[in-house]
């Protein structure tokens, strides 16, 4: 829709970054402040104006280091577009295509950041519905940002998302029946984890005749079968995220992150934590049990490392990514 060198309002188009089912994205310069931005132009310009404003309003309801920042929405020369921060780098999909299976630490790093973004969206009542590597931007500093909320909706106004929307290889079984819930996004995170650690999807795009098998979990091969270097704890986390039965799956991204961060920590630190816990039990088992029960009732707030801005375990005193004391 836009051409290189074209100026619309104060924005000068520099290049075309890509297109998806809902719109095209361009790199542009804000000529007033001399800053590069990303401009997304929806394909369907004839929609009701309130429909066009849906995605920018969703983005405006969130502010998180792992979610692309929405700057403004404009309508100039009868063209509606969204102005967002520009993230130099590549998508997670491009990285996997180029390198195949990622090194364990790197894959878990990205997963933790992804979970933090999804958890923040869920706390704002936003269901993404299209979590996949192509919608993950990787900055040059290793920061992951979730983008493309064009298929998202506020789940708080309904029991579930009732439209069959998403990318089939990453869709949870219930999404094929138009019953997406927060745990559906967690399933998509699980598929992405699987792909990062094996270089492959857990199964091909399900055909209509495969949906029942997908509902029974018969299409999935455990990731550790395809990559023996995956630790059993990580394999189990992925398989729980991919549980076809909603009651067996992680309900929120925060639940997955709660299991993943201790597994992400170096083995020596995990052993030390285990010895400390045993010591507490020996000193006063009853007090330790009461303390843990009280802690379990709390809902810890999301925490980030002050230095690298990556997610921290609720009660961690040291970052598992950069090792900086908190």
Catalytic residues: 130
Can you spell out the DSSP letters for 55-70?
HHHHHHT---TTBPPE
Q: Which residues pair with 70 in a beta bridge?
A: 84
Runs of H (alpha helix) within the chain: 49-52, 54-60, 92-99, 104-123, 182-198, 211-215, 223-226, 232-241, 253-264, 267-297
**Residue 88's closest CA among 137, 48, 34?**
137
Helices and strands (DSSP H and E) totals, the chain: 10, 13
Given a contact cutoff of 8 angstroms between Cβ atoms, the answer to whether 62 and 109 are in contact is no
Phi then psi for 14, rounded to 5 degrees? -100, -40
Phi, psi of 24 (to 5 degrees): -115, 145
Q: Which two tokens stand for residue 73?
A: 């929405």
Tell me the two tokens of residue 190.
């699980």
């Amino acid at each position: 829709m836009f051409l290189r060198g074209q100026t619309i309002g104060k924005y000068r188009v520099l290049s075309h970054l890509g297109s998806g089912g809902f719109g095209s994205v361009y790199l542009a310069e804000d000529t007033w402040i001399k800053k590069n931005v990303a401009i997304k132009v929806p394909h369907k310009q004839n929609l009701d104006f309130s429909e066009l404003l849906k995605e920018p309003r969703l983005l405006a309801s969130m502010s998180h280091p792992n979610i692309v920042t929405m700057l403004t929405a404009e309508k100039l020369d009868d063209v509606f577009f969204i102005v967002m921060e520009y993230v130099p780098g590549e998508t997670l999909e491009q990285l996997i295509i180029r390198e195949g299976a990622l090194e364990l630490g790197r894959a878990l790093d990205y997963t933790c950041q992804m979970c933090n973004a999804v958890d923040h969206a869920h706390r704002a009542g936003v269901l993404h519905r299209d979590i996949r590597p192509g919608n993950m931007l990787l900055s040059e500093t290793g920061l992951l940002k979730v983008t493309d909320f064009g298929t998202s909706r506020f789940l708080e106004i309904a029991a579930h998302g009732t439209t069959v929307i998403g990318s089939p290889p990453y869709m949870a079984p219930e999404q094929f029946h138009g019953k997406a819930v927060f745990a559906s996004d967690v399933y998509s995170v699980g598929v992405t984890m699987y792909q990062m650690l094996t270089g492959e999807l857990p199964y091909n795009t399900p055909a209509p005749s495969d949906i029942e098998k997908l509902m029974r979990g018969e299409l999935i091969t455990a990731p550790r079968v395809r990559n023996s270097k995956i630790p059993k704890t990580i394999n189990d986390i992925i398989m729980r995220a991919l549980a076809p039965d909603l009651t067996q799956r992680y309900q929120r991204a925060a639940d997955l992150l709660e299991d993943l961060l201790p597994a992400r920590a170096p083995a020596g630190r995990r052993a030390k934590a285990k010895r400390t816990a045993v010591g507490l039990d020996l000193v006063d088992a009853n007090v330790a049990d009461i303390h843990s029960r009280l802690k379990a009732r709390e809902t810890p707030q999301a925490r980030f490392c002050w230095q690298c801005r990556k997610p921290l375990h609720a009660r961690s005193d040291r970052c598992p990514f950069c090792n900086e004391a908190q």
